[in-house]
C-alpha cells in the first residue's frame, strides 16, 4: 500500500522563534538588578504564541544579580574576545572573559535547541550588545560594536537585532513566516 503524504503548506511550517535578552523581557537580571523591559504588541503576541525564548547569558554562566559591571577592555569588541585577542574586565579589575565566553556558548546552545533564527538582544551590554558597546574605560563612553554573545550568534547565522531595531526585526520575521 502506498503511504499517503499530505503536501506541506504554510500551516505546517513552524513560525520562527526569537531569542530575547531576559532583561528586555522584564526580568531584573542586569548587573544592577534592573530590567530594560520593552513593550510592543507584536512581541506580546509572539510571547503568547510561545515564540520568545528568554535567555540571560551572564546568569547562565553563573553570575548573580547584582554583580559588578563589566566591559570589553581597550576598545575591543566581541569578535576579538572570541578570537582570544581581547579580554572582558569587571569594574573591580577581575578578568571575567571565560565566564562571558561560557555565557555566549550557552546562549548559542539555547538558540539552537529551540531553533531560533533571530535574536533580540539588549544593546550596550558586553554580552548582548549588537550595535553599541562600552569602550572599556568605565567612563560611560560607547563605540560601535558587538558584545560576545551577539557576535557568537551572528557567527553562527542567527540574525541579531537590538531593542532599537524592533521594527526591522518584525519586518524580517514576517518575511520568513
Cell numbers describing residue 42: 507584536
Is the Cα dihedral 106, 119, 128, 62 positive or negative? negative
23 is an interface residue for ligand SF4 by CB under 6 A: yes
Assign 143 to helix, strand or coil.
strand
For ligand SF4 (CB under 6 A), the number of binding residues is 12
For residues 28-57, which are near ligand SF4 according to CB under 6 A?
29-30, 56-57
> How far apart are CB 115 and ligand SF4 at their closest, in Å?
20
80 is an interface residue for ligand SF4 by CB under 6 A: no
Q: What is the spatial distance between Cα 57 and Cα 78, in angstroms, rounded to a whole number?
A: 14
Cell 510561545, located at residue? 50
Is the Cα dihedral 76, 77, 80, 82 positive or negative? positive
58 is an interface residue for ligand SF4 by CB under 6 A: yes
**Residue closer to ligand SF4, measured from CB, 29 or 173:** 29
Task: Return residues touching ligand SF4 (CB under 6 A).
Answer: 21-23, 29-30, 56-58, 122, 125, 127-128
Amino acid at each position: 500500500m502506498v503511504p499517503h503524504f499530505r503536501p506541506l503548506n504554510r500551516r505546517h511550517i513552524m513560525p520562527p522563534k526569537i531569542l530575547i535578552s531576559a532583561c528586555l523581557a522584564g526580568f531584573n537580571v542586569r548587573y544592577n538588578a534592573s530590567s530594560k523591559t520593552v513593550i510592543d504588541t507584536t512581541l506580546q503576541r509572539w510571547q503568547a504564541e510561545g515564540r520568545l525564548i528568554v535567555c540571560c547569558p551572564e546568569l547562565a554562566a553563573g553570575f548573580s544579580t547584582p554583580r559588578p559591571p563589566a566591559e570589553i577592555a581597550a576598545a575591543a569588541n566581541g569578535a576579538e574576545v572570541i578570537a582570544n585577542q581581547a579580554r572582558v574586565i569587571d569594574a573591580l579589575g577581575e578578568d571575567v572573559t571565560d565566564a562571558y565566553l561560557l555565557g555566549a556558548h550557552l546562549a548559542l546552545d539555547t538558540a539552537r535547541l529551540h531553533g531560533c533564527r533571530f535574536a533580540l538582544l539588549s544593546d550596550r551590554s558586553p554580552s548582548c550588545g549588537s550595535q553599541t558597546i562600552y569602550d572599556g574605560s568605565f567612563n560611560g563612553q560607547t563605540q560601535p560594536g558587538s558584545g560576545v554573545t551577539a557576535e557568537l550568534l551572528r557567527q553562527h547565522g542567527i540574525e541579531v537585532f537590538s531593542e532599537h531595531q524592533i521594527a526591522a526585526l518584525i519586518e524580517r520575521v514576517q518575511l520568513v513566516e
